[in-house]
Structure formats: structure tokens, C-alpha cells
Chain A
Amino acid sequence: MSTKKTTHFGYKEVDKEAKASMVADVFHSVASRYDLMNDLMSAGIHRIWKRFTIELSGVRKGNAVLDIAGGTGDLAAKFSRIVGPEGRVVLADINASMLQVGRDKLLDTGHQGNIEFVQADAQFLPFPDNTFDCITIAFGLRNVTEKEIALKDMLRVLKPGGRLLVLEFSKPQSEVLSKAYDTYSFRVLPLMGRLVANDADSYQYLAESIRMHPDQETLKEMMEDAGFHGVEFHNMTGGIVALHRGLKA
């Protein structure tokens, strides 16, 4: 655990205590248009990344699944169908607005009975040890203040043999793609945010927070340091996004 008193919020260095509320403000601001913006920004490809995450999760009927930073419930909806009535899916998010949007969306689309909604901080998960067969965190880890603490707590609540999947923006593997991606992130994204969500700052933060997030190898080491075994990662769309998977021994 780091003893530093500050952490990054995009490119800014801020007090650790302040980051959670600053991130919360971002997501309160974008919650209502989160799905629309995701579709626009990724041209719908985020659904493919999430689909691959579900394939690699190996979740079966009757499993208990925790979707941290589950936002508007894309993964939770799929898991709910896969685990069936004898399984359990917990959609957790630190942000009340995102959780509310996710809860409404899932209930409106008939997903109920095996889904619970929990407002929780990824660093201090309110669950007993060895509870879940699988934990996913999609596009959420970079917003967590102390990633090391969060990874250790995820390990704690996983059952032995359970899997953690971290889907997150990462480092493009080619220079050309990297340059194009930079232009897109810092020119197009904030413009899109201003036009569609009337909120350019939040999307500026999105682009900056992606650049500050650990790259593929660093995150792999962080997961190993937290105690995960057999950690591997899969680059998707040229490394713009990476899916890391680790097991609890």
C-alpha cells in the first residue's frame, strides 16, 4: 500500500481523500447518458469487449458473480441469464446515480430474481471471505483510488479457484494506432461529450485517466503482487483495451 498522500485524477495530482468524490461527480454527471456515450465513443465495440469477457469468465449455472463498478448493468444482465435462478449476481457500484440507472435498466428488461444491487467501494467490499466464483470489473479499476487495496479485497471475497477479470483501457501495441488513438481521445471525445452529454470535462477526464492507468504488464504484476495466480492478459482492438484474468489458488 502506498504511503503517498496524493493520487492522480486524470493528469492532475489530487489529495487521496478527494479523488473518490471527484470521480463520483464525473459519473453523477454522465450516468443518464452513459450507455449512449459508450456506444458512440466505441462505435458499439464495447459490447464485443464485454462479450469476450463473459466468454473468458467461464461462469456457469448456479455460480455467484460480483460485477464491480457494474454501472448500467451490461455484464450483470448477461451473467443473470447464464447463472439462472439458482445462481446469484451482485451488481456493485460506488456511484448511486450509476447504480440507479443500472437497476432501472435491468428491471425494465426483466432481469430480476437473481440480481442484487449494492452500493460499495471496490477497496472495501461488504462481503464475507470466499463468496464469489467470479468477479468482473469493466472500465472501473482506473477510477479506484488505491488499486492495490481493491485487488487484495477482490481476492479476499473470491472463492478458491475463483476468477477475477479486469477489462480496462490499456496501451495500444502499435505506434500508428497509438497516435490515432491520442488524436481521437483528446480531440474527438471531449467534443462528443460536449455535443451529446453537454459535459466536455468528464470526457477529458476519461481520456486522461486512461493514459494514467497502468499498462498491460504493470497491471499483470499488480495482480500477481495482490496474490492472484496464473495471471494472463488478452489485448483487444490492438491493445486499446486489455482483459486481465487471474485466479485465486
Chain B
Amino acid sequence: MAAAIDPALHTAGLAAAEAAINRALDLAPASAAALASLQDKVFALHCTAPQVDVYLQPTDGHIRLMGRYDGPVTTSIRGQASDFAQLATTNDPAAALINGELALHGDSAPLIELQGILAHLDVDWEAPLVDALGDVAGHQLAQVLRGVFNWGRQASTGLARQVEEFIHEEARLCPPKLELEDFYRDVQELQMQVDRLASRAQRLRKRLRERAART
């Protein structure tokens, strides 16, 4: 049976992505070593929009990406590309899985571990730079790059914190997370009280109908 999308295209995309991920893992020995605990587990990512299936298998410090896999999978998740992007970049994958739109089957713990490893890749640029430019120039350029990346990371964290503070405290465009959670708890409690009241009223109506029937 012929597939709708040419399998060569799909496979070429996966091969390119796999090469990029594994190159990054080669430069991040700590992350590659951390993958050992997930050796040979298989994660199925079923993207519904656009429709793409990817199977991901950590093997020997590298990641193998496949478009098809017939065997049993450890964890299977289904959702849209935006949901996967959110999961890939979040600092709290457990919350993203619980509150997000992704449907999960199987064991979530290995998936959360994998997300942690890939989202926090600590790439060491020094080795390839030293190979290409020599010890002195490579080391100096690596130091500059490390400084730039650290500054970028701190600047983006600081900016995110300041924007959040401005939205909540200065402009008061939306309430803080804790306040919102309190509000949801109150709404939930009110809903339960209303349900109980409705149930009591129904019981009372029934009793009144029975009494009226007796008289």
C-alpha cells in the first residue's frame, strides 16, 4: 500500500533532526551519560497537526529517531505541534502534561526525565573550537561564547520575570497565579455547595409531593 506522504521525505527529515540532536549530545557529555538510564526505552510522539509520527529511542548516549516502530512503547503522547513545543520548552513538564492538551499513555516518569535531559543540554563548545582553531584561539573564543550565552540566559530570565511583574503588579492585566488558583478553588467549592443545595431541594420537593399524595 502506498503511503500518503513520500516516506523518503519523512525519513530525510528525521535523519537530519537525529544528526543535529546527536551532534549536540556529542558536545554535552553529561547529558549523553544521563541518557543511559533511558537506554532502549521507546517514546512515541503522535502529532495530529501536522500529522506526523515520530518514535524516539535513546541508545548508547545518542537518540534514534524513527518514523515507524512495531514494538511496544514505553510512553506514547498525542497532541498538536504547539503542545509538543510547549512540553519541550517548559521548566515543569509534569504540570505541562497534567494541564496541557497532550494525551498520554504509559509511563510518564521516563518521558519527564528525557524532557529534562534534552531541555537542559549543556553544550561544551570548547572541544570543537579547539579542534578547529587551536588551543589558544579556541579556548578564548569558547570563553567569549560561554559569557555571551550566560548573559543571554540571565537576560532572558530577568526579562521574563520583569514582564511578569509588570503584567501582574503594574498594569494589573491579569491576576497572579496564586490568586487565580485561590479563585478557582473558591469557584469549585461554590459549585459543590450549589450541587448539594440542588440535591436537598430535590429531596424536599419529592417529600412534599409524597405528603400531598397521602393527604
| A57 to B34 CA separation, bound complex (whole angstroms) | 29
Q: Please tell me which stretch of B66-74, B76-84, B184-192 contacts chain A, meaning at least 4 of its Cβ atoms lie within 8 angstroms of it.
A: B66-74
Is the CB–CB distance between B8 and A48 below 8 Å? Answer: yes
Count B-side interface residues using an 8 Å CB cutoff.
16
Is the CB–CB distance between A52 and B1 below 8 Å? Answer: no
| A49 within 8 A of partner (CB) | yes
Is the CB–CB distance between B15 and A236 below 8 Å? Answer: no
| A51 to B3 CA separation, bound complex (whole angstroms) | 16
Min Cβ gap B174→A in Å is 46
CB-CB under 8 A from B170, the residues of chain A are: none
| B2 within 8 A of partner (CB) | yes
B2, B15, B69, B70: most-surrounded residue (chain A CB, <10 A) = B2
Contact indicator per residue, chain A 172-190, by CB within 8 Å of chain B (1) or not (0): 0100000000000000000
Q: Tell me the nearest residue of chain B to A236, going by C-beta.
A: B8
Count A-side interface residues using an 8 Å CB cutoff.
21
| B140 within 8 A of partner (CB) | no
A56 CB contact (under 8 Å) in B2, B68, B71: B68
B68 CB contact (under 8 Å) in A55, A173, A241: A55
Is the CB–CB distance between A51 and B15 below 8 Å? Answer: yes
Is the CB–CB distance between A58 and B70 below 8 Å? Answer: yes
> In the complex where A233-B2, A234-B2, A235-B2 touch, is A49 in contact with B67 (Cβ < 8 A)?
no
Contact indicator per residue, chain A 214-247, by CB within 8 Å of chain B (1) or not (0): 0000000000000000001111111001010000
> In the complex where A48-B15, A234-B2, A234-B3 touch, is A61 in contact with B8 (Cβ < 8 A)?
no
Contact indicator per residue, chain B 8-45, by CB within 8 Å of chain A (1) or not (0): 10011001000000000000000000000000100000
| B6 within 8 A of partner (CB) | yes
| A56 to B69 CA separation, bound complex (whole angstroms) | 7
Is the CB–CB distance between B8 and A52 below 8 Å? Answer: yes
CB-CB under 8 A from B69, the residues of chain A are: 55, 58
Min Cβ gap A181→B in Å is 14
Is the CB–CB distance between B11 and A55 below 8 Å? Answer: yes
| A61 to B60 CA separation, bound complex (whole angstroms) | 13
| B7 within 8 A of partner (CB) | yes
Instruction: Give chain B interface residues in 43-70, CB to chain A under 8 Å.
Output: 66-70
Min Cβ gap B184→A in Å is 45
| A243 to B3 CA separation, bound complex (whole angstroms) | 11
Q: Tell me the nearest residue of chain A to B3, going by C-beta.
A: A234
Min Cβ gap A178→B in Å is 16
Is the CB–CB distance between B1 and A236 below 8 Å? Answer: no
